Structure 1
Amino acid sequence: MWRFKQFMPKEQAGLEGRTVDVGSLKVHVRNVIAEGGFSCVYLARDAVNSSKQYALKHVICQDGESLDLVMKEISVMKLLKGHPNVVMLVAHAILDMGRTMEAMLVMEFCEKSLVTVLENRGAGYFEEKKILLIFRDVCNAVFAMHCQSPPIAHRDLKAENVLLGADGAWKLCDFGSTSTNHKCFNRPEEMGIEEDNIRKHTTPAYRAPEMWDLYRREVISEKVDIWALGCLLYRICYFKSAFDGESKLQILNGNYRIPDSPKFSASVTSLIKDMLEASPDARPNITQARYGPVLMSYCRQSCRSACLVVYICFKC
């Protein structure tokens, strides 16, 4: 779990204060803005043009598995580069330090995460229009992933991984948990490996029923992202998790309640219900979710016709 820190001076540690070369880019590393187990994200400035600032992700890869995760993240970000709702990868480098490998990813800087915005919203709820504009941007990013061949499942969609860009667009980040291995796991050894991957690289509150119980013999596919989108939309609407205490039994049964207040349109609550179907086959795909009537009304008029024809619009 990433832990975002407040912008404040602190004692120097790690890369802070250093100037480092990442690919063809030279950056001056400032303070830590987020940290995980073996990684940190720093605020960094371009050493040549100080008006440009970036987020520098520094990962210490202690084994092949952690290196594979970083390489996967780089690969997906390069594939989606240029999408307005995906955090842009500016430069990257993999360094052989002897006993360990270190990865540095320079990305566009986004000052706020969605979870920070939700936690600091004050006493009121968001208007439906604002909710759907946020959700539309996230769905645009997921659509770009699910349209790849084979589809790329993010597998860790959550408010912490949605950032607000300087251009006002909401952007998806953290692609280390992605997968194109969509299958039903039947053999015990395969199930054990997949259960370990799910435990380490997904978040319980957003984890789909088929990921909680592999003995259901359901295909684990990109539909896990549709479930997570349902959980995300619920949280943006009601500022809490759909499933109290991340209860496994509640999730397996799809047992949750739409609060009486605040009131949202039937189309919004129906979209939540459709995405939180316990069976992945009963959930809509991302095209049905993003380009259904609920979100199409929030597609900018100038590009709505293009969306209807090709089902994608990077301007939206």
Structure 2
Amino acid sequence: MGCFCGKESLSVDGRRFFIKQRLGEGGFSYVDLVEDAQTHKTYALKRIVCHSKEEEQVALQEVKIMREINHPNVIPLECYSMHEVNYQSKALDITCELFLVIPVYKKGTLQDRIDTLRLKGEQYSEDQIWTLMMGICKGVKALHDHKPPFAHRDLKPDNVMTEEDGTPVVMDLGSAAVARVEIKTARDASSLQDLAAERCSMLYRAPELFTVETNSSVDERTDIWSLGCVLYALAFLESPFESPYQRGDSLALATMAAKITFPENSGYSKKIPDTISWMLKPKAEERPFIDQVIERIHSIQHEEENRV
């Protein structure tokens, strides 16, 4: 299997892994390709760097959700461990690192595939779009069905991996949280709005997370908005709010207005724009819940099967 002499290794939950290469990094974490020293199987190792006790709690929330959700369309957790920092790191105000070992998906993300299609001047077939959406929605349903319900809050093509057989897998639960929140004070509103600005991607963020109002509430239908944007991206290869974003317009205002334009002569049936418009309601209470979305997609797929 080759010699790993001199290669960096680390221990996670009593298992030894060798670091092979850096796969990527985000605002709060790094991802490395690692190999299990015993089985030689490869995994992704997500390192979450925490700078405070509050960040530690957020990181541990991700672990908690991954351990409690067991579904083929949600990324599983192989093992994890928390590591206190050494003396030198404390100069950087780092309190700890959390190591999460997760599967490697060689086919990459849906965003990778969307980028490839755009470069080639191609698009998904309508059947492929509904199949992908059904899988993503089933993963989201697993989060929403938890007691209490969890919301992902950062659903986007970048956060959906694909298995070798094309099965979509919802990943990156670092933004996930208890879905139903009562906003009773200005401080509650400010706190949630700041958290959303930090962790929820603008192009897929629900309007109620751009401007959080006092004496209001949010629930899991923040994810339904994001799913509507994901459906648009699968069909038209970009977020429905890409144009106002590129112009430098206010995305908060653009989402509140929810004036969605659909490309002409896309080759798709009216079911795609109709379903997107049904999900992208600026008022959360007018949006469907995940079970209704799944039922609608199932009905569309059933119609298509009968037509064939």
- Could you state the TM-score of these two structures normalised by the residue count of structure 2? 0.86
- 1:80 and 2:69 equivalent? yes
Three-state SS of the structure 2 residue aligned to 1:118 is: helix
Which residue number corresponds to residue 306 of structure 2?
none
> Is the Cα–Cα contact under 8 Å of residues 131 and 237 in structure 1 kept in the other structure?
yes
Any residues of structure 2 matched to 1:205-220 within 5 Å, and which?
205-215=203-213, 218-220=216-218
The match for 2:27 is 37
Q: Choose 148-157 or 181-190, whichever is displaced more.
A: 181-190
1:49 aligns with 2:29: no
| Cα distance per residue 1:173-231 (max 9 Å; x no partner) | 11111121523424211111111111111111111111122238652110000000000
Tell me whether 1:295 sits opposite 2:263 in the alignment. no
Q: Show structure 1 runs of 4+ deviating over 4 A.
A: 296-299
| 1:66 corresponds to | 55
Provide the C-alpha distance between the structure 1 equivalents of 2:301 and 2:44, rounded to a whole number of angstroms: 30
- 1:119 paired to 2:123: no
Displacement, 1:119? 0.4
Name the structure where helix makes up a greater proportion of residues. 2
Contact 1:181 1:221 in 2 (8 A): yes
Q: Which residue does 1:11 correspond to in 2?
A: none
Residue 164 (structure 2) pairs with residue 163 (structure 1): no
Partner of 1:268: 272
Contact 2:154 2:199 in 1 (8 A): yes
2:225 to 227, 235, 255: 227
Q: What is the CA distance between 1:167 and its match in structure 2?
A: 4.7
Residues 154 and 201 in structure 2, CA contact (< 8 A), matched pair in contact too: yes
Distance in 2 between the 1:297 and 1:57 partners?
A: 38
What letter corresponds to residue 69 of structure 2 in structure 1? Answer: L
CA contact (8 A) 1:57 1:104 kept: yes
User: How far does residue 285 in structure 1 lie from its aligned partner after superposition?
Assistant: 0.5
Q: For residue 105 of structure 2, what is the amino acid of its counterpart?
A: C
Q: Are 1:91 and 2:79 an aligned pair?
A: yes
Secondary structure of the residue that 2:151 maps to in structure 1?
coil
Identical-residue share of aligned pairs (%): 27
Per the TM alignment, residue 67 of structure 1 is displaced from its structure 2 partner at its CA by 1.1
Structure 2 equivalent of residue 306 of structure 1: none
Per-residue CA deviation, residues 12-67 of structure 1 (Å, 9 max, x unaligned), is xxxx93121111322111111110234210111111122x1100011221111221
Alignment-mate amino acid for residue 140 of structure 1: K
The one-letter code of the counterpart of 1:153 is A
Give 5+ residue unaligned stretches, structure 1.
1-15, 300-316
Aligned length in residues? 281
C-alpha contact 1:125 1:262 (8 A) present in aligned 2: no
Q: Which amino acid aligns with 1:250?
A: A
Distance in 1, matches of 2:24 and 2:298, equals 32
When residues 240 and 186 of structure 1 are mapped into structure 2, their CA distance, relative to the original with a 3 A threshold, is same
Question: Partner of 1:57: helix, strand, or coil?
Answer: strand
Matched residue SS, 1:215: coil
C-alpha distance after superposition, 1:119-149 (max 9, x if no partner): 0122111100111111111101000011112
Quote the RMSD (CA, aligned, Å).
1.9
Cα deviation, 1:61-102, whole Å, max 9, x if unaligned, reads: 111122112101111111113x11111110100011254211
Q: 2:244 is matched with which residue? A: 245
Please state whether the residue corresponding to 2:217 is helix, strand or coil: coil
CA 1:270/1:216 → structure 2, altered by over 3 Å: closer, same or farther? farther
